Each structure stands twice: as C-alpha cells, then as structure tokens.
Homo-oligomer: A and B are copies of this chain.
Amino acid sequence: MPQGKPDSVPDDGLTTRQRRGRPLVIVHTGPGKGKSTAAFGLALRAWNQGWPVAVFQFVKSAKWRVGEERALTTLGGSGAGGVVAWHKMGEGWSWIQRDTDDHAERAAEGWAQISRDLAAQAYRLYVLDEFTYPIKWGWVDVDEVISVLAARQGNQHVVITGRDADPKLVAFADLVTEMTKVKHPMDTGQKGQKGIEW
C-alpha cells in the first residue's frame, strides 16, 4: 500500500520539495523474477510524465523483451507521452556501425554511450537492463560507473537490473530492491512461455 511518511527527516539543508525531486539511482537485483519487468513498469510512469526514456539492453538474446520493446516504442511513438529510445547490445548498438563479436567490447561501448547521454542530459529515465552482468564480468568498471552516476547533472533517474549487483553499486544506489524466488514453475519442469517470459 502507498505509504507517504518517511521514517526520519535528515539534516541535509534541503526542503521536502527539493529532497522529493532528487534524481534516483535504483537497483533491482536478486535471483527472483520481476527485476527487468518492474523497470519497464517504471518506464510507463516516466512515459506518462512526458519524460524522454532510454533503454539499454545488455542481453544477447533477441527473443527476450520483445513485448516490452514493442509496447514502449509504440507508446514512445504515440505522441501522448515521452519519447522512448531502445538500444540493444545483442543486435549491435544502433550507433555502432562496425561489427564485433567481442561482448566485452560491446558492453564497454554501451556504457560509453550511456556516459555521453548522461553528460548531455539526453533522457530523464535510463533503464540499464541486465547491466549488473558486464560489471560482474569486469567488462565495465564499477568505480567508473559510480563516479559517472554521482557526477550526473539535472534530473536523470537511472534503473539498473540484474542478479548479483556489485556491493559498491548497492551501497551507492538510492533505492535497492531484491527479488527473491519463493516458487517458480521451472522447479516443476515447466519452461518459459510466451506472454509471460517474453
């Protein structure tokens, strides 16, 4: 249920209004479902506010997220809310012309573009989908990520999804939710299905 009451009010010299509007770094992590799904749900709210939204999809498979991609790009093109830019590593980032099979290099290029977009204040919501993995695998340096996020100007919210979020990222983020698996149909031999998993 919606709860509007903060547990305590900090002595940070900000008014409630200033504090309320502070842009957030949000992390959805843990082994359960819903990390990315909830991030795309947040994008609906951002779209409704008229905010420009960017999704950077750090996953290889083209099958996953097809529903979210078509829904959000349909909304972005409707003119009724914010615009939506959708970037996929798996099919090659759109701004990269040359072809490479090096995942580490691709992931680093994705992060470099995010850094440029943050510097340009290109969007108000960034969904960095499955971005914990390139950090975990050492393809993108977590200290650099935190430093770029900490230095970002304006009103730019950033949502990062994926398992095993780096403890430094968790410590830095404003809002962290862990999705825990209680029960999953795959436990009883059921595989993923369309409309639910993609």
Interface residues of A (CB under 8 A from B): 1-10, 12, 16, 19-22, 24, 26-30, 32-42, 44-49, 51, 59, 61, 63-64, 66-68, 70-72, 74-75, 78, 80-81, 124-125, 130, 133, 157, 162-163, 170, 173-198
Contacts and interface: CB of A to CB of B under 8 A. Distances in A.
A3 B31 CA distance: 11
A189 B40 contact: no
A187 B36 CA distance: 24
Contact of A187 (B7, B21, B80, B191): B7
A161 to B, nearest CB: 10
B40 A44 contact: yes
Contacts of A27: 182
Contacts of A66: 48
Ranked nearest first, the 3 interchain pairs of A and B with the lowest CB-CB distance are A37-B41, A48-B67, A45-B67
Given A33-B38, A40-B44, A183 B174 contact: yes
B45 A190 contact: no
Contact of A34 (B22, B34, B170): B34
B195 A1 contact: no
A169 to B, nearest CB: 11
A61 B182 CA distance: 29
A193 B49 contact: no
B75 A20 contact: no
